[in-house]
Amino acid sequence: MSKVLSKVKLPYLLLLPGFLFLFTFFILPIFNLAQTSTQTPIAGGDTGEFEQTFRFANYLNAFVEYREQFGRSFFYAICATLLALAIAYPLAYAIAFKAGRFKNFLLVLVIAPFFTSFLLRTVAWQQILGEEGFIVPTLKDFGMLNESTTLTSSAFAVVMGMTYNFLPFMTLPLYASLERIDPRTMEAAGDLYANGITTFRRVTLPLSMPGVVAGTLLTFIPAAGDYINATILGNPATKMLGNIIESRFFAIVDYPTAAALSFTLMAAILILVTVYIRKAGTEELV
């Protein structure tokens, strides 16, 4: 009997370290953030001193005041996600089915940017899109840009930076999903007189949908909360919600508003992700 009980308890004991880690570094901070979001400044107190008054109006006030940044964050994140998908799918397809013995080498190239600081990669795009780079002068030589037009400090630069920085998060799940597809299924489609487009639409794409969903989620979620790209590559008119939260926490020292914005952003992302997964027909990913 004791052996049976020990076998039953063993899985829970193995889960205990992971649960303690999540409880300490995720669940407790979430509760702390929740109680901070309903506080108000202490009358006559110093800056950064707050008391718990359960003022849930902080959420409404924060959303109304920064609704523009909310919309901009999701718009930029969607643009970056779609661009990353358009770039990563052909790349992952080529690595999975056409790379041959160079497959591992190409996968290393995909993850190679992770060997460099996120901050340095973003600063590099400031130079790539700057006047000293090759893109702007080339476009101006072909008459595609006016002499006074710049690409830095713009929404275009922010989206490009986000697309590049999160591209591996899109590529790797797509590759993993495509690599599991049996090539014989595509050969069978050809035997049934399906052309390349029909084979992709009816066979390859449906079988790779788990990778598409996972990749878009891994790209969209961090992109929606990103603030580094908007800080380095943007301007005051391209500020995202992450910039507002960072400013409220560290510059203005308005913890309740920052916490309310953080919670509202998490809730909005959770709702969007749930709807997206159910619409995509991959509820098992939740």
pLDDT band at 8 (very low <50, low <70, confident <90, very high): low
**Token pair 């690599």: residue:** 179
pLDDT band at 139 (very low <50, low <70, confident <90, very high): confident
Residues paired with 51 in a beta bridge: 40
The pLDDT score that the predictor gives to residue 286 is 40
- What global pTM score does this model have? 0.88
Give the whole-angstrom CA distance, residue 230 versus residue 156: 10
Return the percentage of the chain with pLDDT > 90, whole number: 53
In the chain, the domains with their CATH numbers are 58-181+208-285 (1.10.3720.10)
| pLDDT tens digits for range 85-110 | 999 999 999 999 988 889 999 999 99
| pLDDT tens digits for range 159-200 | 999 999 999 999 999 999 999 988 888 878 877 777 888 888
Average pLDDT over residues 231-254: 91
The pLDDT score that the predictor gives to residue 2 is 57
Average pLDDT over residues 120-133: 87
| pLDDT tens digits for range 202-233 | 888 899 999 999 999 999 999 999 999 999 99
Four-CA torsion 205, 74, 231, 152, nearest 10 degrees: 60
Q: How far is CA 229 from the centre of its chain?
A: 12
Give the whole-angstrom CA distance, residue 266 versus residue 237: 23
The alpha carbon dihedral of 138, 139, 142, 143 has a sign of negative
The pLDDT score that the predictor gives to residue 3 is 59
| pLDDT tens digits for range 11-54 | 778 888 889 999 999 899 999 999 999 999 887 666 778 888 99
Four-CA torsion 229, 89, 113, 280, nearest 10 degrees: 60
The pLDDT score that the predictor gives to residue 202 is 87
